[in-house]
Amino acid sequence: MRNGRFQARQKSHAVSCNRISFQTRALVQGDDEGDVVQLAAVMCPGVVTRRAGTDGLWITTPCDDRSDIASREDALAAGRSHFLLLLGVLRAWHPGAGQVRDELWAGLCLGAVVDHENNHFVTLGSIICRTKFGGELEAFASAAANGIRQSRHLRSAILMNARPNRDCAEYYMIQEYAELDFEGRDGVAKYLGISVSEQKRFRSSANQLHPDDGGRHATGNGIVPMELERQCDYVAELLRRWIIYQR
User: Of the ranges 38-47, 59-68, 216-225, which is most confident?
Assistant: 38-47
What whole-number distance in Å separates Cα of residue 96 and Cα of residue 29?
A: 10
Return the domain boundaries, the chain: 20-100+135-150, 151-245
Per residue in 167-219, pLDDT tens? 999 999 999 999 999 999 999 999 999 999 999 999 999 999 998 888 888 88
pLDDT band at 10 (very low <50, low <70, confident <90, very high): very low
Residues 6+ apart with CB under 8 A from 74: 63, 64
Alpha helix (H) residue ranges in the chain: 2-17, 30-43, 69-93, 136-150, 152-161, 168-181, 185-192, 196-208, 228-245
The pLDDT score that the predictor gives to residue 168 is: 94
Point out which residues pair with 112 in neighbouring strands. Answer: 122
| Contact predicate 53/61, CB 8 Å | no
Q: From the CA atom positions of the chain, what is the Rg in Å?
A: 21
Q: Please tell me the pTM assigned to this model.
A: 0.80
